Structure 1
Amino acid sequence: MAEAIAISRNGFPAPNPHVGCVLVREGKVVGRGWCDFAGAPHAEAMALAEAGFRARGSTAYVTLEPCNHYGRTPPCSLALLAAGVARVVVACPDTNPKASGGAERLRSAGIPTEIGLLAEEAAAENRAFLFAMANGRPLVVAKAGASLDGRIALPSGESQWITSPASREAGHRLRADLGAVLVGRRTVQLDDPQLTARIPGVVNQPLRIVLDPLNRLTGRERVFDDSAPSRHVTGVIDLEELLASLFAEGQIGVLVEGGARTIASFFEDRLVDRVELFLGAKVLGSGPSWLEGLKLQKLSAAPALRIDGLSRSGDDVRISAAVEFSAE
């Protein structure tokens, strides 16, 4: 199962979950698989194709319960049955009501099926999917690249580049992994970003969402080009309703990239679940910060960050953290 969890990290399957599958027969691995992108063969199908006839009588180790419905691909539960797999070991149950039930179908066909092996480790690779299924909205990740003193640009607006190429590549991976990226109108006007995931292996570009309450953008900005799907949100914007609509369309994650007030609006509505902060090895001394305008009246009301990742990213420091809001 540990190997299945490791290979589940491959690909960019959003809005589908990350899944890894390893087939073992007579103590030897005969097939490995994962989902490269939404619409590609699922992990079980890839592993079965590699194993061929050797899949018969094997044990399948799968990080997420095999799907049990016809979507873009046929049910993996039926594929395992047809291949003659003798036993199935699952890490996490599938909490998507449209796809769950694979374990029960396998059991009803006489295939011993267990759930729970290394469940916590497997769940960590599927944070966005499992969160979305449990909460009825996408996981919201606030991401920023800033100087060590928290500045995202000089007072003149110059910002390229504060962080390293490695950090910018990691940002592109976050876009692809979450499946949607969101910015405010001012970020588009200042930077004219394309907001695509320009890294190898990305087949389905993330949905690009722009919040523009007063409809000031022209529609000719690069974020609205045909390189990826986009949504121009105008008028009165209710962030909870927006997230609910995105979930209804199948989105499991949203990367909020800026600007400072847009990120703050998600914090104010207590809708930020995680933070990915890339701090470049520079100090600017002045200029806009990555988060502004929370209007806190006391320190005890400040959102807390539970840091669960601290690493080097090129010359930068990357901080990954869960957000905890006070009861006040």
Structure 2
Amino acid sequence: MTGTTHASTPGAFATAMRRAISLSTLGPSWGINPRVGCVLLDVNGAVLAEGWHRGAGTAHAEVDALSQLPPSAARGATAVVTLEPCNHTGRTGPCSEALLRAGIGRLVYGVRDPGPASSGGAERLANAGVDVIGGVSADEVSESIHAWLTAERLRRPFVTIKWASSLDGRIAAADGSSRWITGDPARHDVHERRAAVDAIVAGTGTVLADDPSLTARRPDGSLAEHQPVPVIIGERPVPDDAAVRRGPVPALVYPDRDLPTVLTDLFERGIRSVFVEGGPTLASAFLAAGLWDEILTYTAPVLIGGPRLAVTDIGVGTLTDAPRLTVHDVRRLGDDVLFITRPKGR
């Protein structure tokens, strides 16, 4: 007997999917693996067990949930999973096979796995006679793992460009002073986001001028539990005693400005998200090349004037050439405002 695959969104499973999404956020946002949550329901719709993925090398969400049940307790159950179960062997075995061994009767998932090697779990289960329903709460699931999905589909890290500027778009005064344009709440938000990505990227100009550590810190100044990899791009040498070389994670240095090659290498190293904080020259290079997925603009209610703009030439000769952005979110951080924008129409 062969199971069936549906693309509907039954309301009966939406509540369980929302719970699975919430569980997925308990896992790390960085690393090669996505955040995934799983809820197992009995034949009456009651929750049997829950699970989530805790990072590379640990049990996947489906296996984590199954591990909480005695043998045969999941037979005939419904597995509600945010991402299509994997169908390959990596550090752990395929979740599709684990679900089949447990005897589940139905799989409900949010979005398909875009990985060329790991996808196919839904088809594997359907071919084995399991009822498969896909696309449940797909928009919500996609947003919860937006960066990872984008990286997997584009085969490069998700690129976030960040700058802090005055209301008139300046990142520093005429004398170069820029500390601090924004207030404490905005700076704390930046560090929380740094601690949620794989790498921070800066140009050699910024490293030589500002000597940043490129670390993620808590409000008390201590290092956050997860530290991103510092990535330095540029031809000028970085001194051995630079702060970025004294940090908790060894820096990766790319002595050129071939951004596509840099991103490809980072992806192959398992880096799925990068935070570009390298000043206007590097930010403009990413923008001009179209190698960006999100912009964080921390705007302070102050006027500076002068030539030190957040972005330089990005190849826009006329207004019709200007890239249009979609405002994804706007947040008030003390006296400052954070605009989160993404490419329009992607």
Candidates 245, 254, 257, aligned match of 1:233: 254
Q: Look up the match of 1:107.
A: 126
Counterpart of 2:100, as a letter, is: L
The residue correspondences of 1:108-257 to structure 2 (distance < 5 A) are: 108-198=127-217, 204-215=226-237, 217-225=238-246, 227-234=248-255, 236-257=256-277
Candidates 13, 36, 58, aligned match of 1:40: 58
Measured on the aligned residues, the alpha-carbon RMSD in Å equals 2.7
Q: Look up the match of 2:92.
A: 73
Matched, 1:20 2:48: no
Q: Would the alpha carbon gap of residues 88 and 148 (structure 1) be closer, same or farther in structure 2, given more than 3 Å must change?
A: same
- What TM-score do you get using the length of structure 2 for normalisation? 0.83
Q: Look up the match of 2:343.
A: 323
C-alpha distance in structure 2 between counterparts of 1:229 and 1:73, whole Å:
28
Contact 1:13-1:36 within 8 A present in 2 as well: no
Q: Secondary structure at the match of 1:255?
A: strand
Counterpart of 1:6, as a letter, is: S
Give the share of equivalent positions with the same residue, in percent: 38
TM-aligned CA deviation for residue 287 of structure 1 = 6.6
TM-aligned CA deviation for residue 307 of structure 1 = 1.1
C-alpha distance in structure 2 between counterparts of 1:177 and 1:233, whole Å:
23
TM-aligned CA deviation for residue 246 of structure 1 = 2.0
- The 4+ residue runs of structure 1 with deviation greater than 6 A are none
C-alpha distance in structure 2 between counterparts of 1:33 and 1:225, whole Å:
38
Contact 1:311-1:318 within 8 A present in 2 as well: yes
Q: Secondary structure at the match of 2:277?
A: strand
Counterpart of 1:157, as a letter, is: G
Q: Deviations over 1:39-69 (max 9, x none)?
A: 3332223333445565444311111111122
Of 271-280 and 259-268, deviating more is 271-280
Of 12-21 and 43-52, deviating more is 43-52
Q: Would the alpha carbon gap of residues 99 and 201 (structure 1) be closer, same or farther in structure 2, given more than 3 Å must change?
A: farther
Aligned residues: 323
Matched, 1:3 2:19: yes
C-alpha distance in structure 2 between counterparts of 1:174 and 1:239, whole Å:
22
Q: Would the alpha carbon gap of residues 52 and 193 (structure 1) be closer, same or farther in structure 2, given more than 3 Å must change?
A: farther
C-alpha distance in structure 2 between counterparts of 1:304 and 1:212, whole Å:
28
Q: Which ranges of structure 2 fall in alignment gaps of 5 or more residues?
A: 1-16
C-alpha distance in structure 1 between counterparts of 2:34 and 2:204, whole Å:
30
Q: Look up the match of 2:47.
A: 29
C-alpha distance in structure 1 between counterparts of 2:56 and 2:172, whole Å:
36
Q: Deviations over 1:288-316 (max 9, x none)?
A: 23212336432222222221211223332
Q: Would the alpha carbon gap of residues 295 and 123 (structure 1) be closer, same or farther in structure 2, given more than 3 Å must change?
A: closer
Q: Which ranges of structure 1 fall in alignment gaps of 5 or more residues?
A: none
C-alpha distance in structure 1 between counterparts of 2:50 and 2:231, whole Å:
35
Q: Deviations over 1:103-126 (max 9, x none)?
A: 223233332222211112211122
Q: Secondary structure at the match of 2:215?
A: coil
The residue correspondences of 1:288-307 to structure 2 (distance < 5 A) are: 288-294=308-314, 296-307=316-327
TM-aligned CA deviation for residue 141 of structure 1 = 1.6
Q: Secondary structure at the match of 1:23?
A: strand
